[in-house]
Amino acid sequence: MPGTRFPIRTSRPSRRLPPALALFLLGAALGGCSGGDLGRTRQDFLNDDMHRWIGAEATGSVGLRASQFQLTDNERLLRDLAFPLIEPPHSRPAWKTVFGDYRPLPSPWRQEVVFDRTAYGRILIDEPHRSHSSRYAQLMEDVRDDITRFEPFFATAVRVIDLDKKRNAALAHISELSPRERADAVGRMEENSLIVQWVQQCLERRISSYRWALERLVLQAPDGLAADADRLIGELAAQTANPPVAAQPPVVGRALSVRS
């Protein structure tokens, strides 16, 4: 019995692209977006030393020479953990954060504009929210994030500063130490010390901003959540006021404290 045959439709040509061509076009589109266009992260930043610039920015901003030594594992981790603490919270729109709008930040010693402690609170309050409680929740989440980041950063800072003390003591015993090697060693100690100071100052600024934001939330939308938020800010402030390690010499003068 002959099988049933179905006629092949030829009146309307298929608009589907061949699979190989479709994959090629998709790859080209994605490749074109990964090089820094449309706010996406530039590929030259995506490497193990992507936060190395933090040390160079810190020393360069106060007129010191950056070290040419390669980063140790602890020094690299110090810079990686420092970045989320020195980047102002909500400084980028959410869509830019998703696409990785990564860029170096100026150190506090380079900035000439006076620190605006109201910027964070104005963003928090002005952005549309379903309810005022979500603003309190966002504030508390941001403070908790900083508390969570505090211990890993300063635990790493303790190791780095302790090793720098040993490095500094060893300078007097290194045979045939060249001026360039000495300069790079001193430069790296200055970098590490300044990074700790940088984070310390940014934490003080965040606490000041958080308190301003909480005061305005209480003023505009009083809620029992204010007590929880105040407790969290106080916890972060207590940690910041008594860090596990202080920047060791050589230390450059600190920027004006913004504690409140």
* 167/15: higher pLDDT: 167
**How far apart are alpha carbons 81 and 149 in whole angstroms?**
8
Q: What confidence category does residue 48 fall into, taking pLDDT thresholds of 50, 70 and 90?
A: confident
Closest to 194 in 3D by CA, of 73, 44, 86: 86
Q: What confidence category does residue 131 fall into, taking pLDDT thresholds of 50, 70 and 90?
A: confident
Q: In this structure, is the dihedral angle defined by the CA atoms of residues 61, 67, 72 and 74, taken in order, positive or negative? A: negative
Question: Average pLDDT of the chain?
Answer: 79
* 114/2: higher pLDDT: 114
Closest to 133 in 3D by CA, of 230, 218, 231, 233: 218
Closest to 192 in 3D by CA, of 120, 108, 250, 110: 250
Which amino acid does the sequence have at 251?
A: V
* 256/133: higher pLDDT: 133
Q: What confidence category does residue 153 fall into, taking pLDDT thresholds of 50, 70 and 90?
A: very high
Mean pLDDT of 36-63: 72
**How far apart are alpha carbons 207 and 203 in whole angstroms?**
6
> What per-residue confidence (pLDDT) applies to 96?
41
Q: What confidence category does residue 188 fall into, taking pLDDT thresholds of 50, 70 and 90?
A: very high
